[in-house]
Every structure is written in C-alpha cells, then in structure tokens.
Structure 1
Amino acid sequence: MGKGFYISKTVGIVGIVLAAGVLATITALPVACSQEKSKNNEVKSTDPTMAPSNEPWDQWRLPQTLSPQTYNVTLWPRLQPDTTGLYIFSGLSSVVFRCVEKTNLILIHSNKLNMTKHPTLIGLGSKPAPTIESIVMHTKTQYMAIHLKEELTAGESYELYTEFLGELSDDLGGFYRSEYYENGVKKVVATTQMQATDARKAFPCFDEPAMKAVFHITLYHDPATVALSNGVVIGKLTLYSVQEQCWVTALKIRIFARQEAINAGQGQYALSVTGPILKFFEKYYNVPYPLPKSDQIALPDFNTGAMENWGLITYRETALLYDEEISSNENKERIVTVISHELAHQWFGNLVTIRWWNDLWLNEGFATYVEYLGADEAEPDWNIKDLIVLNDVHKVFAIDALASSHPLSSKEEEIQRPEQISEMFDTISYSKGASVLRMLSTFLTEKVFTQGLQTYLDHFKFSNTVYTDLWEHLQKAVDSSGTTLPKTVQEIMDRWILQMGFPVVTINTATGQITQEHFLLDPETKPDRPSEFNYEWFVPISWTKKEAIQSLYWLLQKTDQVDQMKISGDEWVLANINVTGYYRVNYDNENWRRLLNVLQTSRQSIPVINRAQIIDDAFNLAKAGIIETTLALRTTLFLASETEYMPWESALDNLDYFYLMFDRTEVYGPMQTYVGNQVEGLFDYFTRYNQVNALRVACSTGLEACTTLVKTWFQQWMENPNVNPIKANLRSAVYCSAIAAGGEKEWNFAWEMFEKATVASEKDKLRAAMACATEPWLLNRYLKYTLDSNKIRKQDATSTIISIASNVVGQPLAWDFVRANWEYIFNEYGGKSYLFPNLIIGVTNRFSTPFELQQLIQFRDDYAHIGFGTGTLAIQQSIERTTANIKWVEKNQEAVLEWFINPL
C-alpha cells in the first residue's frame, strides 16, 4: 500500500469490484450474516476465551503440512439489502492443495463466514480423499479445522470445496460495501481490502503471504453493474470502461471512478502518468510488466490511501482523482507519488513477495523509496526526489528517537496475531525502510544497487523471500562491479535493520575527533530491547569543507580520529550531504557558529536540502539536551531572506513543536511576533511549494494584510457560492484562516459547501478547515458528526478528530471526546485500521504537563479491558513523548521566552 497504504500478499492479491456504473476491486470478503446459521450441525464453534493449547488450531501460524496450488472462487454480492436490512454476499470456493507432510487435519483460515453447505474433499491423485470426521470453527485464531478419519498422503493433491455466506458491511475491511449518491440516486459498490489478514473474510483460504497460488475468479452480477478483478476477462462479459489507452506492448491502462468524476475529467491526470511510470519501472527492474492490463479505481470509501492488488489497484478518491480547476499542486503531487508507489509494488511485493510480515519493511520501505523515482520520471520539473527528506527521513527520525521504537525487521515469532501484523504498517516500516534503502543505494551507487535488484527479482519471481536474499544479490553486484566496501552488505545493513534507532554523529572540527551515539529524544530513557550490536552502526559519512570536494568516510566504531576534518581560518565542515545517510549530525560550537554565519551571509554555499537539515538536526539535538535550544532557534534567523520551500518547511515543522508546547503560555505572543516578522518577506514571494505555507503562517501570526485578504475572498464566495474566487493552491490555507477568524455563519457555509462538493480533494480541504474554528461549541458539534457516517465517512472519522485536536481550542475537546467514546471508536477502528495509532498520537501531541501525563496513564489503565489494538504501541510512545515534553518545557521555557523577545 501507499503511505498509510500497504503491500499485497498472495491471497490478498485477488481483487474484485462490483458497482452500478462504476468499477471496483475485491481482495477480501467480510463478516458473516448474523441472521443466517450454518445448516450443518457438525460445524461447531470454539469459545474465544478458551485457554490456548499446543494444538495447531490454537497457534497463529499455519502448519506447513499443506500447500495451496489453485483457487476457483465464485462470489455473488447483493447490492440491495435483504428483508432485514442487511447487505450480504454468498460464495463458493474450491482450493486445490498438495499435501507436504501426512496429516489428518486441514487448517484453513475463515473469519466471520457461515458455511451454508457441508465442505467436501476429493482426492486428485491415485488415492481417494479421507472422510471428513468433524469441522470446528476456531473464532479466536480464525481457523476452520477439518478433522479427517484417515491421513492425507504426502505428495498427493486434493480439492476442498466450500459454500458460504457473509455480510457486505460498511467496515472498510474484507469484502465490504461503499455507498455514494449521484444525481440524488444512491449507488452501492462492493469492493475489497484484504491486506493484511482479511482475505479470510472473503472466502476460506490459506491466508499467509508465503501461501502463493493461482486464482480463478467468477462474479455473479446484474447486467446493469460493472465487475472488475485482477486479470483479464476470460468468459463473456461486457465491461463499461472509461478513459482507457494502450501503452507498451499493447498493455491496457484504465481508470475507473464515479461516473460524475470521470465525466468531469478527474481521471485524466492519473491516466497520463501511469504509462510513463510503468515504463520507467520496467526499465528500472529490467523485468516486463507481468500482466496484460493495469486497472486503477477510485473508491468513495477506502480506509488507507491505496492498495496494490495485482492488476487492479484500489485508491481513495483523493489519491487518484485530480480536477484541473479545483485540485491543488499538493493534490497532484500526492496522486503521482501514490500511483508510483502502488505500481512499484506490482513487481516488488506482488511478483516477489515477502515470506512473512516481519519483513514488511522491505516491501513498503522499497516502494516508498522508489515512488519518488517513478514520480520524478512523470514530473521531472518538480525536483520531487528531494522531498523524501522532509516527508520520510525527518518524519521517521521523530519516532525512531523514542526508546519505544522497534527494529525494521523483527523475529517471525514476535509478529503472530492479526493486530501485531497490522502494527507493522507504521512509519518505521515505510519511512525508515525507505531512508535506509536510499542510503544503501547511495553508497553502493544506483548502478550497482539496480543491478543487484534486477537479479533478485529475476531469481525470485512468483516466489517468496526474506530480506537477506536481497543482501546476497546486492553483494554479488558489488563483487562483480569491483566496488570496495569496508564490510559486506549484510554486515553493514544488519546494523540498520536488526536494531532500532539511529546514531547522532558528532564532529569536533578543532581536534578531528568523530563519535557516534544512539540518539534518544530523552537520553534518560533506555530501550527495552537489547542489541547484539550495542547500538553502534557502520555509518557512511558524506562530508565537505568550504569550497572542497565531497568525501565519503566510514565510521566503523564508536570513536575515530579524522584529521582531514580539522578546520582553520574561516573554514567550516558540513556532513551528511543531501541527507543521504540515516543519522543526525552535531558539531563543536565553533563550527555551529560558522555554519550559522554562512546561512546568514551566503546561504547558497550550502545545498538547499542541507539548509533544511541544519534546522531539523539542531532543533532535535536541542530537544535531547545535546545543544542549547537558543542555538536551534538561531538556525531560523536566515529565513527572513530564504525563499526555498525545504528550509521553510523544516523550520515550520520544528516550530510547530514550540506552538504545541507554548501556545497556552506567555511565550505564545513573542513567538507569534518573531515568526510573523520572518515570514513577511515570503508572503510576497509565492513559489510552487511555498505559497500555502506563506499564507498560512502569515495569517496565523496575525499579519493584517493576510487576514484581510482571506476574509475578503471567503466573503466573496459566501455571497456567490457558485463562483469560488479562491485559487486552488491556496484554498486549504484560506479556508482554515477564514473559518478561524469567523463564527457560526462561516462554519455553516463551509459545511454546506462540503456536502455539495463533488471533488474529493475539495471535500478534504473543507473538512480539515472546519476543524480550525475557535468556537468550542462548533468544534464539539463537529466531533459528534464523526460518529455519524452519513455526515463524516468512516474513512475520514479519525483524521477529522485529529484535525480538531491540532487546534489549541479543540485539543481538550477531542481528548474528552475520545475518552468518552473509546469503546465505540475502538470497535470501529482499533482492531484493523493501520491509521488508528495516528488518533492516539494526534489527541496527545500537545501534552506537556504532569497532570496531562497522569490523564494519559489513567486512560491506558482505565481502558485496558477494552484494549488499544493497532494503537497499543502508540500509547507507549505517547507516554514516553509526554514525559520528554514535561522535562523539556521545565528546562527551556524561560530561555525560549527571552530569545523570542530578543532574537539574536
């Protein structure tokens, strides 16, 4: 999937979609109907509270006794409710499997499916199949256990046939239902999201990534509806396709969406970039695209950003649809990167699949890294490859600096239960994975990296791997190229993969001494996880002196002496050029002083990415107490004359922390004055990326010209709702600023426009902007809306709460709301949503007092009986982060206040 989106697995590669006037995908089926009971009395259920045993059905992993070969699956989703108001689907499935080891037990995943006919088993070899003795449904481990009177024969193949019934619910998982209105008519889509453990909700299956198989899909559907799956249509079926074109070797590319969206041309941009990106990846992987078609569909309800079902990729509407007049440049950037991410998975993830979820980082980290390469191919003028530093490297540093972080690759036995698997879909897997692979590609060189990648894909196509398989092929490429490394690829990379965290490299330019230490946000905390490498890394340090050629130095131990890094006169040292390494950099005070002087007097001497890096490193070193906070603040002085996006974005991201900590204190006023003075020049210098930041910050700091401007534009729109005078790129900032400055009238108008909007990106802008209101009662009303899917779609509920919590007025309201409604929220989202941890982090981000820490601990204890699901780790991280915030505020508030009053 794409960020916030995740990879496919073998069984999860199956996709189907059914809708009136729409195309969709399926990767799994949902819950079984509550009113239908199994007609076979021999099918029994186990008590989920029963104490586990050593029996195979009480284990979370399938035994390796059976290996699926092919599935024939027929599904019939009903797009109209039955007499009880439920939407259902029925299905039948036959799976051919080979017996690897003799056994008298067939274990197959089945979750919330009602068997409507007794399963049958036939032998396909020389011997007949054993007789079925009994069938037991194990609800906790989600197995259907078929006990046989005799043993299956090793080496023989068998076919298991099942018929079943399930509920086509609106829970965004498995085979589920999505609804929307077009011209006042309700439309229903049956679609799927199977990753990571929801294929078993669609049909009985061996639901593990190593259990790859061939699928044949049949769909029963009304002739007035459209059906899609992963492959091309074999039987006779008329498809209603839109905006299709052929590319390389007659590959058919199609975009599907709501009819209204397609008619408005919202699929055209995605259509135009898909071909070039596919062609790029064919060259990059040196493997032809393995399917005859590439369908992509935008769904009205989709929990994650996108899902890379092989040949049929599903998306949120905001990740695929673009309107030339209404969508912004930021929307366009998101679309091209998400498409690139999902297309990258067609090879890396689908053609070659991880063996188990503990190596999820390899799939998602890789796709996150190369999404920038594919997007750069489609939009070469955007310099999009540089944005990985802001979007991924800097973002994941904040998580990986916690003692409660985790390694990229865990042991298989540590990742067993469905909620543990879902927790792996986090920032560490995506962004740290991308960051360390980018570092690897840089020090190997892209030529060597792609050579090893190509042989890896060719060797393991249609198969499964572990991450060390990639290291082996990269090592072969290194050896054949004559490249010199201080250690083997595996020796270097194991230090980044098998232990959590990252180092801060400290360079003393007076002595030439260089050291590394495990960087922790709170140095007083210690990781619970021991490390066989003692939290030391093999660090590739790219560095330069003033007007010197860039060099590469390998730090292979804790401390070393590098005389070339000594400076004299007006020289300065800069390390981690373009932030290709996954580490932070600290210097002696004199070198810091010289770098700050260069930023003030000749900032172009330092690459744009490193101007952003200096800011981010300094602020985070200050958070950890390694340097003074006032030194970090001094890195923002040069911004008064800076016009590039990356340094500004880095500064605003870090100053946001100051707002979180101090927007309820006396520091807030002087801080607003300082930031407003710095941004004033930028407000008059709009660029592609900077214009939104310039407007947002200028208005939020009270710049009168900005406030007047946004209020005028919004008022003009209210007077003539059919003509929006606000430029697409500025709408998110203008809407928020105008609603913050307004009251009920402005909020109600925004809600009316939100309900009428037909472009998903416009709805998202308005939805986020309504959280900017400053009237508590408006925000409380808005919070209640998140409980009603007719007002706020389920896919948007948690992100809406987070938006409200990011507002200083809304934060305590959102915190109270989450606690008061925890059972409902958890039941709806906590057990299966990969994005659920963001809710916990979002509503607690501002916590910085002992009282708030106590509330958080009490929340953890009070709701332990309900649980936190995929947010379990997020609770621990929030407690750790709050503890660090308390210490930092106590230590720094007075000095920060003085500096903002007199910034020097």
Structure 2
Amino acid sequence: MSLTADRDILPNAIKPTNYAISLYDLELGGDFSYQGTVKIALDIKKSVNQITCNANQLKIHSVDVQTAHNKTEQSIKASDISYDEKAQKATFQFDNDLPVDSQASLVVKFQGTMNNLMAGFYRSRYKPVATPAKSVPHDDEYHYMFSTQFESCDARRAFPCFDEPNLKATFDFEIEIPEDQTALSNMPEKEIKKGSKEGLKIVSFDQTPVMSTYLLAWAFGDFEYVEDFTKRKYNGKNLPVRVYTTKGLKEQGRFALEHAHKITDYFSDIFRIEYPLPKVDLLAVHEFSHGAMENWGLITYRTTAVLFDPEHSDQKYKNRVAYVVAHELAHQWFGNLVTMDWWSELWLNEGFATWVGWLATDHLHPDWNIWGQFVTESLQTAFQLDSLRNSHPIEVPVKDALEVDQIFDHISYLKGSSVIRMLSSHLGVDTFLLGVSNYLQKHKYGNATTNDLWSALSDASGQDVNKFMDPWIRKIGFPVVTVAEEPGQISVRQSRFLLSGDVKPEEDQTTWWIPLGLKTGPQAAVKATGALTTKEETIRDVDESFYKLNADQNGFYRTNYPPERLVQLGAAKDRLSVEDRIGLVGDAAALATSGDGNTAALLALTEGFHDEQNYLVWQQILNALGNIRSIFSDDEEVSKGLKAFILKLVTPATDKIGWDFAPNEDFLTGQLRSLLIATAGLAGHEGGSVIAEAKKRFSAYTSGSDKSAIHPSLRSAVFRIAITEGGQETYDAVKQEYLTTTSIDGKEICLVSLGRVQTPELANAYLDFLFSDKVAVQDVHSGAASLAANTKTRYLLWEFIKKNWDSKVYPRLSGNMVVLERFLRMSLTKFASLEIEKDIQSFFEGKDNRGYDRGLGVISDTVRSSATYRERDLDTAKEWLGAHGYL
C-alpha cells in the first residue's frame, strides 16, 4: 500500500545524483555563520519552471541552473526565491521552463549558522583537559568543536538539498578551516590546499558511495585519535579503525576501538557482505541529542556512549559503549547500504540494528548474559510504551519532519528489536541471517520496504513470514495470553493488553501469531507446541507439576497464570532461565497494574526471590517494586510498609556481597553490588550500616583526604545515599564534583544523584542550576528524570515547568524537539493522580504542541493507568503488607 498521499514530499520531476559541497568563510565566534556553495547534479525528468528543495534556517544568495540542452551549455538564473518555513522548503522560480536533461546542475550559494541546537551543522562546548591548539574557538570558560547531526531531516539546516531518504546521491565535500584543526567526513581525506587567508586550509574528501542525505557528516576541531586495524582484509587491506576525541581524551577511546574493529569483521562475516567503505571512524561529540549517529564511515557519539576510563569510569558504561558501538556499526549495512524507503519504516533501520547490536555484544561478551539484559531492559521498556492506548504500530504513517523525530522511540527501537528476536528465534538465527544477507545483496545502495525483508526471509526459511509477522508490524499493541488449567491440559486465550485494563471490544480485533514456547516436566524441556494462531486453544499432555509458557521470553507477549501457579513458578525458579525469571516478575508487575493480577500476588512472588544471585533478575524485581513504591507514595502507611518489605528482601544479599570489588570479579557481580547498596541505603538499611558506610566514604572522597574511598562503580550509589541523607553541604559537594570532574560519566552520575534532594529549597536550587548554562542542554533530562522519580520533588518539578515554561523551559529546550519531548516524558510520567493528569492536559491545551504531541499522549495514558491502579489496589497492598508484618 502506498502512503505517498500521506507524505509531505518533494515533487518527483527532479532527482539529485551528486552534491559537491564547499563551505568557507566560517565565523568561529560571534554569530558562527558560514558561507557555502553546493553544486547538485540533477536529472530533470520533465520540463518544469521551478525547483523545490529542502532548506531550513538558511539564507540563499543566488541560484543558477546549468544545462547542456541540445548540446549547448547555458546558465539560467532563478528569477525568484521563496521559502515555506513551516514545510522547510525553498522554491526557485525560472522565467522559462527548464528542459529535460539528465546532466543538469543546480548551483546554490547560501549562508548558514553553526548553531547550538545539536541539529544540522552545530557547535559543542567543552572544557579542555589538555592544552588546546591556538586557533580553537573559545570563550572565557569553554572551547568549541563542530560536527553534524542530520537524521532525520536536518541536512537541510546545513545546505539546500533534496532531504528524503530515497533521494540518494553521491557527495563530494570540502571545508576551509584553521590550519591546526582536524577535519573529518564520511570518506578519507583527498587533498589539503592553502586557504583563502593565512592560517587557513581547505580540506577535501573522496566521493562517497550513493547514500541518503541524512547519512552525510563532517566535523572539525582540536582532535586526536587512537587507531587499530581490522584483522580481516578488505580489497587486500586491513581497514583503519579510529576513535577521535578532543585533545586529552583519546586514551578513553581504547575500549570502543577494541570493539569496533572486531565488530566490523563480525558483521562482514554474518551479513556475507564486506564493510563497504575504506575506513571506520568513531567521533566523541561533547553535546549530542541522541546516543549516537550512524553516519556512513564517520559515526558520531555522545561521550558517555564511546569513552571509557578503566581507572575512573563506572563499569556499567562498559556495557553501554560495547552495545552502542555495535548498534551503530550494524547500521553501516542495515540503514546505510540498504535504507528504508520512507520514515514510516524507520523500524527497519532501528529495530534490526538494536537486535543485531545485542547479538554482536553477546558474541564478544558471552559472560555478560546479554539476552537476560535484553529482556529486563529492552523488552520490558517496549512493553511499557506499547501497553498504552497512545502507542503506535511499529510501521506508522509519517507525514513530515516533526512527526519523524517523535517515532525515534521505544516502539521503533525496542519493540522492533523484540519482534525480530522472536522471529529469529522461530526461524533459527542462522536462517534469519541468511535471509538478511539476501535482502542486503538484493537492495544494496538502494531503498527497501518491510515487505522486501519479509520476502527475503520467506525465501531463506521456506515459511510465509509476511503472513504471521504482518500484525506484529502493522497493528498497535501486543497480546496477553491468559492460562486456565484443567487436569493434564491447559487452555490459552489471547487478547490485547492495555496497562489501563479497560480494553474495548473494538480494540481487541487482532489475532497475533504467538510462539508458545512451552517448558514442562521435571527437566523444564521445551515442548513442540507451535504457535497460537487463533483467539483460544487447548494444549494437552501438560505436566501439572511444572510448566511455563514463553520459553526464555522470546515471544513479545505477557502471560497471565492462575494465582496459585504464579506462586508455584516462583518456588520452582531453579528450573527457570534468567530470562524466564525476569519475565515472570515483569509480567506479574504489569498484570497488577492492569487489574488482571494484583499487588499482593506480585509481592508474594518477589518475596521468594530473597536468595536470588543474578544481577539482571534483581534489577527487574527492584524496578517493579520501585514502580509500586512510586505509585503508592502518597499513602504514608503503604509507603512505609513497602520500604520495610524492600529492605528485608535486599538486606541478606547486600550484607553478603559487601563493599569490596575482587581484582578479577565478573562484570555482573560488580553491577549487583552497586544496585544492592543503593537500594538498601535508600530504603534505610537496618542499623544504618550501609548509610553510615556510604556517609563515611563520601566524606573521605569529597574532602579530598581519600579519592579511592569510593570505587568508581559505587559513586552513583554513595552519592545518592549521601544526598538523600544530607543537606546543603552534601548538595554543594556533589554540585562541585559535577563542575570540576574530568570523568566522562562523572557528570551524568552527579546530575542524577543531585535529583535525590529532600527539601523544596534544594530542589528549587537544583532546578535553577539545571537550567543554567552550567548544564548542557543534552543533559537536562537526566536531572529532571531523577527529580521525577523522587517522591519529595516530583510535584515541585511540575510547578517549576508550569511557572517557567515561557521563560526557561521552552526557550532552552525547543530548539531541538527531540530534547524537549524527552524532557517532558521523563518529567511527568511518574504521577499517579487523575487531578495532575487533568492539570497537565489543561496546561498544554491551546499551545502549539507539534513536535512533542505524541509525548503528551504517552504522559496522559501513563499517569491515568497509574492513577487507576493506585485507586484499585491500595487497600489490597495495605492488607497484604499488614498481614505479613510490614506495617
């Protein structure tokens, strides 16, 4: 089905084939303007008297079209240039029709701005950690580096272009910069020439392959790099792989470098297509709206997603760096070599890169239990958003740029990858990857659709993939499978799951293909039961002593067991994989919220996990319990009871694991220690021993008497406990640490910790700080999320947003709608009050909410679901906690 009518796209009479871009007269201070010329080779397919392309916040000086019609070269000047600012388009009018010509050129001279919005061609501020080169632009405190972020629709902010993913072309790029700066682009450097003035040079780069505008990239600054080479040869050579940073940080790029060259080779093997460019560059960018961006051959990253300091970084960032490096490298094939036809199929890029990113991380780190992590993080997060009415199908109609940015969300990435994991598990990973390889071969350097992928997978597997996957991609939501028991058999029924628990008949029309993955019997062996393809079915020969559906949580659905069975499964957890145990807790928590289960059942289940030893299972348990605490936080009695429950649950494990890291301790044990100490301390560890120890270490660390008093992986736990227990002095100490630390992840840890403040005075001081120029726009949401999770401060945060919307919040964050939408979602989804939900709706009513309207819908749905759950289950929770001695 064509969605073209629903898209705001450019006329199809003209197609670009090459861009030659030249940037010069860069004003590296003042207004940060630059001049540019772009010569676009055009294929004019039918005679027209105007050309429309994309341009946003550019000033166009002149436009000429050069044609070779009838073998006579002629240059035709545009007689008029007009802008449609809302649609981000520029139209060039000509007095006479332009002839049909497959070798015409459009030459545009223009002016742009190296903005500070993390979109288009932009500047990032940073504090240098080494002596910078003389010409690095700076103000009193900060220096600047320059880079691009074009996905989804911001190439048009940097130069006039035909900015749609299926209008692919090749690119030639050159830029004039100070002599002591380093320039980078997608391809290797071709030539360096003398600049127009003393002290300047012009750097040009080799021509790119055919690609979409959003994948073009360039950067320049005071860079240095670490380098390694692929072990595999490409066209007879080992490819150079580099991690670039601003001066003084390159050694922190070694961990990413180690992964990048291995992953490049791994993907070349499993995709059966060699990495297609002559280099792989990774660049750490100091201000970044997303986690990273897969520009072909020049991948850009937020610093915390690519840099790791073995001496000073929290170990958890190892996991982040390894995975994000893999995710972006996967895009070099899936997204860059073969690109989705239109943004409605963004999931083709992101869902696949997410799944295969985990696959590569698992390949390099089999001891990290990557698929357990996938289930506790990706799968559960995808469920959360997709269980709202305000969710959207994986493949969703997208009209224009503002709509595109809002679907870079948990549905495109995490539901997309969860559905791919389900399919790859069903087909077998090797068969699945064979189909992917065939898909990439067939469509390389072109564009493709979801149906193209399904066809390739159907051919490879001999199954009709489209038939059973179509509802997963094109329908909203997911099912819950409800189990009823009879002697020797079970009946299973599928229905749409909503967190609000009030599914209407018209919302429950989809019949999903559901792989049942039944584990049963003494050995918990997987029984061949196939898939549920009808609304209801009976499964015979089930061993009543033990059974569990959805083996290893491969399927994207919740399971609702009879209450007694849930207790039995909790007791039989030794027969369950890590993924099964995580899924059991996640399902019970969601079903309590929706009313299909209840809080008492969840508490009874988690009580049985006191002797659990796996970090990822603990993470899921404590996420679920933290959410209940948050929702019931306004009731002092239940809040106190839940705190006591959590404390009793974690104390034995916390006491056992202790504070000290063994020299060769495995990664997950270290993460568990951090989680348990933070949880126990924040719940008021008995006798205060965790709190006392945290305070002692905090004091030694912040006074400077012993900087080794806090292990890098315990900074988050210790800082959060100290802030919760302390006052102004503690707050000032962590704030000072934020301002002075040179640790890449240290700033993020401090911001999140400061959100644990307990008084209105400190909360308001922190909010003022968060919106000052001391905190980068990219990080504001981290502090807001922490304040929102803190029951003492979430109402103050909402009051601050309302009071300062026009003066601080909107002006500071709306330059990049991705940033604003993320901030609002993280600030406002923790409430469990219908009154607050109405207040939020009322505040935004009548405002121009384009660019974050989908986020407001998610906030409304989430808050309403939590409020309904609170109202329905508060007494049940109180009764259970009382009966079990926690009140």
TM-score by length of 1: 0.87
Which residue does 1:693 correspond to in 2?
675
Q: How does 1:163-178 map to 2 (within 5 A)?
A: 163-178=109-124
Local SS of the residue matching 2:501: coil
Q: 1:114 aligns with which of 20, 42, 59?
A: 59
> Aligned-pair distance for 1:463?
0.4
> Aligned-pair distance for 1:195?
0.9
Preserved CA contact (<8 Å) 1:68 1:97 = yes
| Mean CA deviation greater in 438-447 or 658-667 | 658-667
Which residue does 2:180 correspond to in 1?
224
Q: How does 1:563-574 map to 2 (within 5 A)?
A: 563-565=540-542, 567-568=543-544, 571-574=545-548
Preserved CA contact (<8 Å) 1:831 1:870 = no
Q: How does 1:522-537 map to 2 (within 5 A)?
A: 522-524=500-502, 526=504, 534-537=509-512
Which residue does 2:729 correspond to in 1?
745
Q: In the aligned structure 2, how far is the partner of 1:537 from the partner of 1:77?
A: 58
Q: In the aligned structure 2, how far is the partner of 1:348 from the partner of 1:573?
A: 38
Which residue does 1:49 correspond to in 2?
none
Local SS of the residue matching 1:772: coil
Which residue does 2:473 correspond to in 1?
497
Q: How does 1:37-186 map to 2 (within 5 A)?
A: 60-76=8-24, 78=26, 80-81=28-29, 85-123=30-68, 126=71, 132-154=78-100, 156-182=102-128, 186=138
Q: In the aligned structure 2, how far is the partner of 1:855 from the partner of 1:276?
A: 52
1:390/1:593 CA distance change after superposition, 3 Å: closer
Q: In the aligned structure 2, how far is the partner of 1:283 from the partner of 1:124?
A: 47
Q: In the aligned structure 1, how far is the partner of 2:516 from the partner of 2:596?
A: 20
Q: 1:653 aligns with which of 623, 648, 653?
A: 623
> Aligned-pair distance for 1:724?
3.9
| Mean CA deviation greater in 807-816 or 870-879 | 870-879
Preserved CA contact (<8 Å) 1:403 1:526 = no
Q: In the aligned structure 2, how far is the partner of 1:766 from the partner of 1:456?
A: 45
> Aligned-pair distance for 1:136?
1.4
> Aligned-pair distance for 1:241?
4.5
Q: In the aligned structure 1, how far is the partner of 2:46 from the partner of 2:427?
A: 43
Q: In the aligned structure 1, how far is the partner of 2:801 from the partner of 2:693?
A: 36
Q: Deviations over 1:790-819 (max 9, x none)?
A: x10111123222222221222111111111
Aligned-partner residue type, residue 403 of structure 1? R
Q: In the aligned structure 1, how far is the partner of 2:407 from the partner of 2:837?
A: 26
Local SS of the residue matching 1:693: helix
Q: 1:871 aligns with which of 848, 852, 857?
A: 852
Structure 1 alignment gaps of length 5 or more = 1-55, 480-484
Which residue does 2:196 correspond to in 1?
none
Preserved CA contact (<8 Å) 2:817 2:852 = no
Aligned-partner residue type, residue 159 of structure 1? S
Preserved CA contact (<8 Å) 1:505 1:516 = yes
Q: In the aligned structure 2, how far is the partner of 1:796 from the partner of 1:846?
A: 19
Which residue does 1:579 correspond to in 2?
553
Preserved CA contact (<8 Å) 2:372 2:578 = no
Q: In the aligned structure 2, how far is the partner of 1:399 from the partner of 1:117?
A: 47
Q: In the aligned structure 2, how far is the partner of 1:77 from the partner of 1:508?
A: 73
Q: In the aligned structure 2, how far is the partner of 1:244 from the partner of 1:163?
A: 37
Q: In the aligned structure 1, how far is the partner of 2:555 from the partner of 2:801?
A: 39
> Aligned-pair distance for 1:752?
1.4
> Aligned-pair distance for 1:331?
0.7
Q: Deviations over 1:118-137 (max 9, x none)?
A: 44443477365666342212
> Aligned-pair distance for 1:707?
0.2
Q: 2:244 aligns with which of 256, 262, 269?
A: 256
The yes-or-no answer on 1:459 pairing with 2:442 is yes
Local SS of the residue matching 2:122: strand
Q: How does 1:48-447 map to 2 (within 5 A)?
A: 60-76=8-24, 78=26, 80-81=28-29, 85-123=30-68, 126=71, 132-154=78-100, 156-182=102-128, 186=138, 187-236=143-192, 241-247=224-230, 248-249=232-233, 250-262=238-250, 265-411=251-397, 415-447=398-430
Preserved CA contact (<8 Å) 2:479 2:494 = yes
Q: Which has the higher contact order (CA 8 A, sep 6+)?
A: 1
1:827/1:208 CA distance change after superposition, 3 Å: farther
1:349/1:688 CA distance change after superposition, 3 Å: same
Structure 2 alignment gaps of length 5 or more = 133-137, 194-202, 204-219, 658-668
The yes-or-no answer on 1:792 pairing with 2:767 is no
> Aligned-pair distance for 1:117?
3.2
Local SS of the residue matching 1:667: helix
The yes-or-no answer on 1:888 pairing with 2:863 is no
> Aligned-pair distance for 1:640?
1.3
> Aligned-pair distance for 1:59?
7.7
Q: Deviations over 1:725-772 (max 9, x none)?
A: 100111111111111111111111111121111121011111211111
1:455/1:93 CA distance change after superposition, 3 Å: same
1:133/1:851 CA distance change after superposition, 3 Å: same
Preserved CA contact (<8 Å) 2:588 2:602 = yes
Q: Deviations over 1:13-49 (max 9, x none)?
A: xxxxxxxxxxxxxxxxxxxxxxxxxxxxxxxxxxxxx
| Mean CA deviation greater in 798-807 or 887-896 | 798-807
Local SS of the residue matching 1:92: strand
> Aligned-pair distance for 1:851?
2.3
Q: Deviations over 1:193-212 (max 9, x none)?
A: 11111100111100000011
| Mean CA deviation greater in 223-232 or 100-109 | 100-109
Preserved CA contact (<8 Å) 2:55 2:156 = yes
Aligned-partner residue type, residue 676 of structure 2? A
> Aligned-pair distance for 1:526?
4.5
Which residue does 1:545 correspond to in 2?
520
Q: In the aligned structure 2, how far is the partner of 1:122 from the partner of 1:241?
A: 44
Q: In the aligned structure 2, how far is the partner of 1:441 from the partner of 1:577?
A: 14
Q: In the aligned structure 2, how far is the partner of 1:818 from the partner of 1:526?
A: 35
Which residue does 2:589 correspond to in 1?
619
The yes-or-no answer on 1:782 pairing with 2:766 is yes
Preserved CA contact (<8 Å) 1:125 1:158 = no
Q: In the aligned structure 2, how far is the partner of 1:465 from the partner of 1:124?
A: 34
> Aligned-pair distance for 1:835?
4.5
Q: Deviations over 1:836-887 (max 9, x none)?
A: 33322322233223321221221222xx32x233321121222222222222
1:705/1:466 CA distance change after superposition, 3 Å: same
Preserved CA contact (<8 Å) 1:172 1:302 = yes
Local SS of the residue matching 1:112: coil
Q: In the aligned structure 1, how far is the partner of 2:811 from the partner of 2:527?
A: 54
Provide the aligned C-alpha RMSD in A: 2.1
Q: Deviations over 1:217-244 (max 9, x none)?
A: 0010110111101101111379965211
Q: Deviations over 1:166-194 (max 9, x none)?
A: 12221111111112232687322121111
1:596/1:180 CA distance change after superposition, 3 Å: closer
1:844/1:147 CA distance change after superposition, 3 Å: same
Q: Deviations over 1:581-608 (max 9, x none)?
A: 001111234423422332xxxx221112
